[in-house]
Amino acid sequence: MTGFGRMPRKEDARFVRGRGTFVDDVRLPGMLHSAVLRSPYAHARITSIDTTAAEAHPKVRAVLTGADLEERGLAWMPTLSHDRQAVLATDKVRYQGQEVAFVVAEDRYSARDALALIDVDYEPLDPVVDARTALDADVPVIRDDLEGKRDNHIFDWEAGDASATDLLFESADVVVAQDMLYPRVHPAPLETCGVVADHDAVTGKLTVWATSQAPHAHRTLLALVTGIAEHRIRVISPDVGGGFGNKVPIYPAYVCAVVGSMVTGAPVKWVEDRSENLMTTAFARDYHMRGELASTSDGTMLALRVRVLADHGAFNCTAQPSKYPAGFFHVVTGSYDLRAAYCAVTGVFTNKAPGGVAYACSFRIAEASFLIERLVDLLAGELGVDPAELRFRNLLTSEQFPYVCATGWEYDSGDYPKALQLALDTVGYTELRAEQERRRADDEYLGIGISFFTEAVGAGPRKHMDIVGFGMADGAELRLHPTGKAVLRISVQTQGQGHETTFAQIVAHELGIHTDDVEVVHGDTDNTPFGLGTYGSRSTPVSGAATSVAAQRVREKARLIASALLEVDPDDLEWTPGRWSVRGAPDSGASLKEIARAAHGDVDLPDGVDGHLDGSCVYNPPNLTFPYGAYICVVEVDPGTGQVKVRRFVAVDDCGVRINPSIVEGQIHGGLADGIGMALMELMAFDTDGNCLGGSFMDYLVPTAVDVPPWELAELVTPSPHHPLGAKGIGECATVGSPAAVVNAVMDALAPLGVRHADMPLTPAAVWCAIQGRPLRA
Ligand code: MCN
Ligand code: CUM
The per-residue pLDDT for range 146-160, each reduced to its tens digit, is 999 999 999 999 999
C-alpha of residue 663 to centroid of ligand 1, in Å: 8
Instruction: Give every CB contact of residue 275 below 8 A, 6+ residues apart in sequence.
Output: 695, 696
Confidence of residue 669 (pLDDT cuts 50, 70, 90): very high
Residue 105 has φ and ψ, to the nearest 5°, of -140, 175
Q: Which of 579, 603, 619 is the last residue of a domain?
A: 619
Q: Is residue 165 part of a domain?
A: no
CATH assignment of the domain containing 57:
3.90.1170.50
CA pseudo-torsion sign 217, 219, 225, 227: negative
Residues 424 and 488 in one domain: no
pLDDT per position as a tens digit, 535-592: 999 999 999 999 999 999 999 999 999 999 999 999 999 999 999 999 999 899 999 9
Q: Is residue 170 part of a domain?
A: no
The DSSP line for 306-357 is: EEEEEE--SS------BSSTTTTGGGGGTTB--SEEEEEEEEE--SS--EE-
Q: Is residue 424 part of a domain?
A: yes
Residues 549 and 680 in one domain: no
CA distance 395 to 450: 13
Ligand 1 closest atom vs CA 187: 31
pLDDT per position as a tens digit, 127-145: 999 999 999 999 999 999 9
ipTM attached to this prediction: 0.99
Give the closest residue (by CA) to ligand 1 atom 20.
540
- Ligand 1 pocket (Cβ < 6 Å) reads 189, 242-245, 360, 495-499, 502, 534-540, 655-660, 663-664, 667, 670, 727-732
Confidence of residue 462 (pLDDT cuts 50, 70, 90): confident
Q: Which of 619, 643, 668 is the last residue of a domain?
A: 619
CA pseudo-torsion sign 183, 532, 453, 634: negative
Mutation choice for ligand 1 from 619, 730, 733, 738, CB with most ligand atoms inside 8 A:
730
Confidence of residue 776 (pLDDT cuts 50, 70, 90): confident
CATH assignment of the domain containing 578:
3.30.365.10
Residues 724 and 767 in one domain: yes
Q: Is residue 730 part of a domain?
A: yes
E strands, 577-660, where? 579-582, 585-591, 613-619, 628-638, 643-654
Cis before residue 402, ω within 30 degrees of 0? yes
Residue 425 has φ and ψ, to the nearest 5°, of -65, -40
- Ligand 2 pocket (Cβ < 6 Å) reads 213, 243-245, 248, 357-361, 363, 535-536, 732
Mutation choice for ligand 2 from 244, 322, 497, CB with most ligand atoms inside 8 A:
244
Residues 449 and 319 in one domain: yes
Q: Which of 24, 56, 50, 21 is nearest to 37 (CA)?
A: 50
Ligand 2 closest atom vs CA 362: 1
Ligand sitting nearest the alpha carbon of 731: 1
Residues 704 and 558 in one domain: no
CA distance 292 to 181: 14
pLDDT value of residue 777: 67
Residues 714 and 651 in one domain: yes
Ligand 2 closest atom vs CA 534: 5
pLDDT value of residue 775: 85
pLDDT per position as a tens digit, 607-630: 899 999 999 999 999 999 999 999
Ligand 1 closest atom vs CA 498: 15
C-beta of residue 457 within 8 angstroms of C-beta of residue 653: no
pLDDT per position as a tens digit, 738-772: 999 999 999 999 999 999 999 999 999 999 999 99
Residues 655 and 538 in one domain: no
Q: Which of 619, 635, 653 is the last residue of a domain?
A: 619
pLDDT value of residue 32: 99
pLDDT per position as a tens digit, 688-703: 999 999 999 999 999 9
C-alpha of residue 555 to centroid of ligand 1, in Å: 27
pTM of the model: 0.98
pLDDT at 245 over 70: yes
Domain count, the chain: 3
Give the mean model confidence (pLDDT) for residues 453-476.
92
Q: Is residue 167 part of a domain?
A: no
Residues 276 and 287 in one domain: no
Ligand sitting nearest the alpha carbon of 495: 1
User: Structural domain of residue 29, as residue ranges?
Assistant: 11-125+192-240+247-280
Mean pLDDT score of the chain: 97
C-alpha of residue 680 to centroid of ligand 2, in Å: 21
Residues 562 and 480 in one domain: yes
Helices 545-566 and 499-511: crossing angle in degrees, nearest 10, is 40
Residues 590 and 510 in one domain: yes
C-alpha of residue 401 to centroid of ligand 1, in Å: 25
Ligand 1 closest atom vs CA 245: 31
pLDDT per position as a tens digit, 23-67: 999 999 999 999 999 999 999 999 999 999 999 999 999 999 999
C-alpha of residue 50 to centroid of ligand 2, in Å: 39
C-alpha of residue 81 to centroid of ligand 1, in Å: 24
pLDDT at 778 over 50: no
pLDDT at 397 over 60: yes
C-alpha of residue 742 to centroid of ligand 2, in Å: 21
Q: Is residue 183 part of a domain?
A: no
Ligand sitting nearest the alpha carbon of 538: 1
E strands, 364-509, where? 403-404, 410-411, 445-454, 466-467, 470-471, 474-480, 486-490
pLDDT at 241 over 70: yes
Q: Is residue 305 part of a domain?
A: yes
CA pseudo-torsion sign 521, 526, 530, 535: positive
Ligand sitting nearest the alpha carbon of 283: 2
Give the mean model confidence (pLDDT) for residues 85-100.
98
Residues 657 and 715 in one domain: yes
- Give me the torsion for CA of 198, 199, 201, 203, rounded to 10°: 90
Residues 254 and 117 in one domain: yes
Residue 338 has φ and ψ, to the nearest 5°, of -90, 150
CA distance 126 to 144: 14
Give the mean model confidence (pLDDT) for residues 221-236.
96
Mutation choice for ligand 1 from 365, 497, 628, CB with most ligand atoms inside 8 A:
497
Q: Is residue 499 part of a domain?
A: yes
